Structure 1
Amino acid sequence: MKQKLIYILLLFVSIISYGQVNLSLEPDKAEYNGREIVNLTISLELNGGDLLQQTKFQLPDLSQFNLIGSGSVTNSFMDPVTNTVITEKITRLALEPKKKGKIKIGSVLVTVSNKIYKTEPFEIIVKDVIKKTPAQNTALNEVYLNMEIEDREIYQDQPTIAVLKVYSRNIDNLRKVRSIQLPQQENINVHPVHFRKSEIDPSDMGGNMASQVVAVFMVFPNEAGYVEVPAVSASVNTLAHKNKILSNKVKLNVKKLPEGSPESFKNAVGNFKVDVYCETKEKAEIEKPIHVVVKVSGEGNITDMKLPGIEASPDYEFFTPKITSKVYPGKAGMKGEIFANYIVVPKKRGEIVIKTEDFSFFDPEQKEYIDVPAEKLSIHAFSHEQVLESRTTVEKVNEYTNNFLETVNTPVLKTTSFKVKEKNKFNWNVLFVNIAILLSLVITYLVFRNWQKKRSLVKKTVSPNSLGSVAETEKEIKATLKTDITDYFNYLKNLKENNEHAKFFETVEELDSEVRNQYFQSSSKDFNQFLENYKGSHIAEEYRNLVQKIQMEKYTPVKSEEGIDELFNTIVNLYSRISK
């Protein structure tokens, strides 16, 4: 009988643990100052694969608040202990209180597997607000920053893209956001991608607010576990005040790198390649420095990883390198090249092998460690006597002459200016360049003479015309400067179809310069003011948006055919109207 009771009790406990539902509603704090934003977090946890959410969250009466924004995220994973599926759904509400004092927030209802669950009601306190000028309140309370990170589960030292958006009911407030400060923290490395503002979306947040992307940056967490990305700050500038606003914080689930890493692995995550070469073209000589470069190229956390160096050897001596880089944002991290310029001094005569340290990296796509073989550079070092013996007679005479001119300097003539520059061989390129210059001068002279003859004939046969008015003269000059932009359109279409994106954007810049020259405007800023005065504010606004769109598409890491097609159609439409 006792065994049956224990069996029934265990069965009952297992059923409860298998089908458990947890629903909660929590504010970020209990007391708020005036019109401070109230953040409510609704969490629903379903422990069991058979549990089904049948209805959405039924919110309580929120008539005493203004809904600023909302967002939801759903995560599902397998619990290895209980071997059950756990589903988490989190919804966040941003509310603006309409009154002060105690405000009661009711229960949230949801139906799961034909059963209704609800949260417990609670109260929050809204205190008196310090009175400020209306302009300051409007700018501060109607502009909000939101940091969005789509990929929140990454490996240690693997990048993830963060997008910073600004929201406001008034579109004019979006232009007041300045001085964006990216987060700084010891357990993350942050690198900006760009701070270009996107086009304004007038109907974001369910049509209640306008939004605009103001910054994109990469986050590299350098430790495993749950890492919280701090808030991004910015300033809202008005005529009388400068206010500071903060974005939300985002928590990342940083996975620890797999075990079994090789000894040569430090913290490189991505895909990399190592090269070593010598920049010195002269013969290596004992006790004379030479320049050896170790180049690391690839994509990943290249700006934050530990670079492989040169292995120590009794055959040579080296010093701390000078680090230079050519890095830009890529699709899977920072992409480019890092150069470590070493000064190496050979210590023995003969063959010397300069070897790099062992290096390995973790590839997140293949999820494995990859060893990079050590690179070797062979150099033959000569003694000073061997270097002197290998020189030709002309080189020896040049050296003796230079030594004399360096050491003997008369007060009448500065002889050091007569130093003979050594040349190993005849430079045929200089000869060819000089011949080409001479031929071009002759051709130019002949063309000029022919043009003068034709001009003198025209002066004799054609009678002088009236100079006309200033307006007529300006019209004639514009007609001569006017370019047939349809040629540009046809050329841009061919470049677009052949996916020659770099040449496409170069041609767009040439087209813009040609059109501006038609109206005697040297810069885009002056041209935009010209359009606003003579073509209307609508054309000027379209031109400003097009310039921003061209810059965004030009520096986008991955270019889509739809985006290029849309950009091409916009260019043809706008420049056709401007150039009329």
Structure 2
Amino acid sequence: MQHKLIYILFLFASVISYGQVNLYMESDKAEYNGKDIVNLTIVLELNGVDLEPQTRFQLPDLSKFNIIGSGSVTNTLIDPATNTLVTQKVSRIALEPKKKGKIKIGSVLVTVNNRIYKTEPFDVNIKDIIEKRSLASNMANEVYLNMEIEDREVYQDQATVAVLRVYSKNMDNFRKVKDVRLPRQDNLNIHPINLNKSEIDPSGAGNMASQVVAVFMVFPNESGYVDVPAISASVNSYSNKNKIVSNKVKLNVKKLPEGSPEYFKNAVGNFKVNVYNASKDKIEVDKPINVVVKVSGEGNLPDMQLPKIISSPDYEVFTPKITSKVTPGTTGMKGEILANYVIIPKKVGAISIKTEQFAFFDPASHEYVDLGNKALALNAFSHDQILESRSTVEKVNEYTNTLLETVDTPVLKTTTFKVREKSKFHWSILLTNISILIGLFIMYLLFKTWRKKRALVKETTSPKPLGSVAETEKQIREMLKTDINDYFSYLENLKDNGDYQKFFDTLEEMDTDIRKQYFQSSSQEFRVFLENYKGPSVAEEYRNLQQRIQMEKYSPLKSAEGIDELLKAVVNLYSRISK
């Protein structure tokens, strides 16, 4: 009986040694300065062949730290004393404390063979947290520049906000800090939020006052550990100019989860896509129209790749003009990006304009959102179909508009009387157009009568004696001199009404009149004349302006801003030439 009891005890001892699990966590020390890194070591030992972890290490709440690094290694060996398999898994985590004081680190959990094991919690003591900031100093340690990023663990292309502060014991030093230069780096996209100085906070760190001098948004575009480079600023005094540099900040950029759609590019945030036709007239074959692809929302809007319009034999598409209306938001840059396409339909009938498929990653829900592609259905007509669809009143209005556009005067703003297409008939507009035609006819008759009377008066007057050649040339130039201000007013009216074809025709007419004033028949001769009498700079400016006018005239897409800048350049140059 005694031998059986000893045998049972040995059996239990062998079973315990065969299937033993040991889990513990420890830190490298119990007390840290604010600038120190807290290193945690987690060890899991499995003594036995049949022991296998079913879950990974479940970490405790580490929200009071920034995780700046982690790693693990697994070792396997055979214990020669017991001839059992020993598996050891060691993980290390590097933490940066956010707050000072005593911080409790909870238990790590792991499941082995349907049983949960956990470590014992313990406390670490963090001294003054301000000491952790790598404040760059200058001016005999009088002014310090520090960059602070609260959220240092983000996804790729997700925004995090950085705050730049200046610390100093002397309040007078804050007004000397100027010329803050944001960093530039290939793996970072940086957009300023506010570059204005805030109010001075007298209760800063270490008995120093502080002031926020810049707030900006950082978008890391690659995963891994990414360093936000130091920011520089200048401190100007009466005697010299010094440079101060802030600290660097390391970001833990998480890689986007797997399972993204194959056409996902780099959109991170929350977005919507809309496609619409910006042209108000009927769509005609072989005539350009404006189609806008609008992406709105909040995220990495300025840096994301927009969905393009897919090419098709039904239409011809040109490179779009990109415009953005973006402001800083809470989780990224918010607003809208517009891609204005010029599209020329190539067939009569129904046309479907489609965009590329678009998907984005939403950091709030940690999942991908697939918007697919957007389609715009249009119906194109031939030129004959558009003419046949017009009513009698619309044809009368078109004839009236043509007459008003051909009136040869830069003073009368006739384009304001042009008839727009309406959805219903308006008798008042028709009567107004008829009244204008009658008035113009009466003015024409009065003008002819006045010219006849003037010719009779000239015949009765005695001829004046001829002067010298110089006097005669001066007199001819005075007769040919063009009132340039009338042209400027007329061009301004054409620009405001969007009549760009008439605008460029009037520009050519004005240029011809100015050249005639100086007895120059071609632009080449006029440039030589300007170089001799006005200087080579004016001649070169005239040549560049003519090239710019031709480029804008034959551009498939004309913008009001570009025409306005062109008109300013025309007024500036021709005002100096016609003096």
Q: TM-score range by the shorter chain?
A: 0.5 to 0.7
Match of 1:175 in 2: 175
Describe the superposition over 1:350-400 as per-residue Cα deviations: whole angstroms up to 9, x where unpaired.
011111110000011111111013221111100000011111223223333
For 1:302-317, what aligned pairs fall within 5 Å after superposition? 302-317=301-316
TM-score (norm 2): 0.53
1:163 match = 163
Q: Is the 8 A contact 2:67 2:252 kept in 1?
A: no
> Residue type matched to 2:40 in 1?
L
The amino acid that maps onto 1:317 is E
Separation in structure 2 between the aligned mates of residue 179 and residue 275 of structure 1, nearest angstrom:
40
Letter in 2 for 1:204: G
Percent identity, aligned pairs only, is 58
- Displacement of 1:40 in angstroms is 11
Aligned residues of 1:140 and 1:245 also touching (Cα < 8 A): no
- Offset of residue 87 of structure 1: 4.9
Q: Does 1:231 find its partner at 2:225? A: no
In structure 2, distance between residues paired with 1:113 and 1:420: 85
Please give the alpha-carbon distance, in whole angstroms, between the structure 2 residues aligned to 1:306 and 1:176: 41
Cα RMSD after superposing both structures: 4.0
Alignment-mate amino acid for residue 36 of structure 2 = I
Q: Once the 2 structures are TM-superposed, how far is the Cα of residue 48 of structure 1 from its aligned partner?
A: 3.4
Paired amino acid for 1:193? I
The one-letter amino acid of 2:331's match is A
- 1:423 paired with 2:417, answer no
Residue 203 of structure 1 corresponds to 203
Query: What is the one-letter code of the residue matched to 2:420?
Result: K
Q: CA deviation at 1:169?
A: 1.2
Q: Is the contact made by 1:227 and 1:254 (CA closer than 8 Å) also made in structure 2? A: yes
**For 2:36, which of 42, 55, 68 is the aligned residue?**
42
- Segments of 5+ residues of structure 2 without an aligned counterpart are 1-13, 45-63, 75-88, 99-120, 125-136, 430-579
1:374-393 map, 5 Å: 374-393=373-392
Match of 2:266, SS state, is strand
CA shift for structure 1 position 46: 3.0
> Could you tell me whether the CA contact under 8 Å between 1:156 and 1:224 is conserved in 2?
yes
Q: Alpha-carbon deviations, 1:25-58, whole Å to 9, x = none?
A: 9xxxxxxxxxxxxx995344231389xxxxxxxx
**Aligned residue for 1:351?**
350
Equivalent residues of 1:76, 1:86 under 8 A apart: no
Q: Contact 2:164 / 2:214 at 8 angstroms: preserved in 1?
A: yes
Deviations 1:295-331 (A, max 9, x none): 0000000110000111111111111111111110001
Contact 1:267 1:306 in 2 (8 A): yes
C-alpha distance in structure 2 between counterparts of 1:317 and 1:311, whole Å: 10
**Aligned partners of 2:410, 2:173: CA distance in 1, in Å?**
71
Cα distance between partner residues in 1 of 2:163 and 2:123: 39
Equivalent positions of 1:115-194 (< 5 A) are: 139=139, 141-194=141-194
SS at match of 1:260: coil
Mapping 1:20-99, distance limit 5 Å: 22=28, 42-48=36-42, 75=67, 81=73, 86-90=92-96
In structure 2, what residue type is equivalent to 1:307? L
Q: Report the counterpart of residue 294 of structure 1 in structure 2.
A: 293
Q: Which amino acid is 2:269 matched to? A: G
CA contact 1:398–1:420 (8 Å) conserved in 2:
no
For residue 148 of structure 1, report the CA deviation from its aligned partner: 0.4
**Match in the other structure for 1:332:** 331
Superposition pairs for residues 420-459 of structure 1, below 5 Å?
421-425=418-422
For residue 11 of structure 2, what is the aligned residue in structure 1? none
Shift in Å, 1:259: 1.6
Aligned partner of residue 397 in structure 1, secondary structure:
helix
TM-score, with length taken from structure 1: 0.53
Q: The residue matched to 2:325 in structure 1 has which SS?
A: strand
Does structure 1 conserve the Cα–Cα contact (< 8 Å) formed by 2:68 and 2:250? no
Q: How does 1:481-496 map to 2 (within 5 A)?
A: none
CA distance in 1, matches of 2:263, 2:198: 43
- For residues 414 and 246 of structure 1, the distance between their equivalents in structure 2, rounded to whole angstroms, comes to 61
Q: Deviations over 1:60-82 (max 9, x none)?
A: xxxxxxxxxxxx95649885545
Change in Cα spacing, 1:311 to 1:87, as seen in structure 2 (3 Å) is: closer
Alignment correspondent of 1:212: 211
Deviations 1:231-288 (A, max 9, x none): 0111111112121110000011111111221122110000000001111111100000
Mark the runs of 5 or more structure 1 residues left unpaired by the alignment.
Answer: 1-6, 26-38, 51-71, 93-111, 116-136, 432-580
Deviation at 1:402, TM superposition (A): 4.2
The separation in 1 between residues aligned to 2:329 and 2:346, in whole angstroms, is 42
SS in 1 for 2:183: coil
Check whether the contact 2:354–2:376 (CA below 8 A) recurs between aligned residues.
yes
1:270 aligns with 2:276: no
| Shift, 1:170, TM fit | 0.8
After TM superposition, the structure 1 = structure 2 runs for residues 357-376 of structure 1, keeping only pairs within 5 Å, are 357-376=356-375
- Asked if the contact 1:328/1:334 (under 8 Å) is kept, the reply is yes
Q: Which moved more, 1:41-50 or 1:361-370?
A: 41-50
Conserved in 1, the CA contact under 8 Å of 2:68 and 2:251?
no
CA distance in 1, matches of 2:313, 2:221: 36
> How far apart, CA to CA, are the structure 1 residues paired with 2:122 and 2:264?
50
**Could you say if the C-alpha distance between residues 419 and 191 of structure 1 is closer, same or farther in structure 2, counting changes exceeding 3 Å?**
closer
Instruction: Give the whole-Å Cα distance in 2 for the aligned partners of 1:323 and 1:418.
Output: 31
Q: CA 1:175/1:24 → structure 2, altered by over 3 Å: closer, same or farther?
A: farther
- Name which one, 1 or 2, has greater alpha-carbon Rg: 2
